[in-house]
Amino acid sequence: MNEFGWRYFHFVDPSGPRINIVEHQTDIFGLETKPYMTMITKEPKKEPLRFKGEPNLVWEKDTTNGNGKFDFTFDNARFSGEITESTQHHSLTDIVLYQDEAGRKSHWAVDIPYGKVIGELKTPAGEKQITGYLYQDRQWGDILIQEWVKNWTWTHLANNELFTVAFCINTTDGQKSWHSMSGQRGQEVLIKNELEVPHIEKLSKSGHQDKQTFQAEIKIAGGLSASFLLSPKNIMRSRLNEIYNNFSASYLRWSVDGVTNYSNKPVQGVAEYIEIQKK
């Protein structure tokens, strides 16, 4: 049986770096099966830094108040700190993104759609105090994504007042597995599957997504709307036209800043796009 899995952590300091950390049970395609951990940091107007090593982390969260602590350690980098606030929702613990006729499933859980953190980031570029926002999810399953995903776009945006998450997947058999969640501090998390993300079509029709700037939008039916740019200068990770045994794939991740219709304050976050072509 082919299985895959990873746990994803995303941190944003509004005035500083965006930090993505992934604890891999496998790589994204389930091909590399020895566990490992990666971290990418991206500061404004600077090139991203990437670190990889064996899993070496502490992630502790109180189930009653959502507070906790974290510590991610690499050979030449470390990010540690405290979770001072977090939002959760019971219906986000196991979302089935796709199920084939044989009953194989791809799962997604959003453990923390929005949180706040304070911490310290140490890299060869120096030490920085981090104050900002947190997102944490997981994906796992027994059907590999290259067997059913045509393309997807995922985005998390937040500020001191609100957050939004949009995960939109187009499948090889013509289905849509589109999901969104949004919320304002102190209010219920809103979960909807009716939304518009017109930039996914723009990205799918472009052969050089890393060379162009795309105007991106998320419009949740009857709710929050957000607009932001996907710019080459803000790319955190770029893996284009990678060739495997029976498929090829491209993956991009951007640091993004945008605006919403629910707040006069800007929002910050991360967006990603992946497309897969079977041979």
Q: SS3 letters for 72-109?
A: EECCCCEEEEEEEEEECCHHHCCEEEEECCCCCEEEEE
The residues with which 50 forms a beta bridge, in sequence order, are: 40
pTM of the complete model? 0.95
HSE at residue 55, side-chain half, CA atoms within 13 A, is 13
Distance of CA 172 to the CA centre of its chain: 22
Quick: pLDDT tens for 147-194.
Answer: 999 999 999 999 999 999 999 999 999 999 999 999 987 788 999 999
The residues with which 171 forms a beta bridge, in sequence order, are: 149
Evaluate whether 45 touches 29 at the Cβ level (below 8 Å): no
Evaluate whether 151 touches 273 at the Cβ level (below 8 Å): yes
Mean pLDDT value across the chain: 95
Quick: pLDDT tens for 53-85.
Answer: 999 999 998 877 778 999 999 999 999 999 999
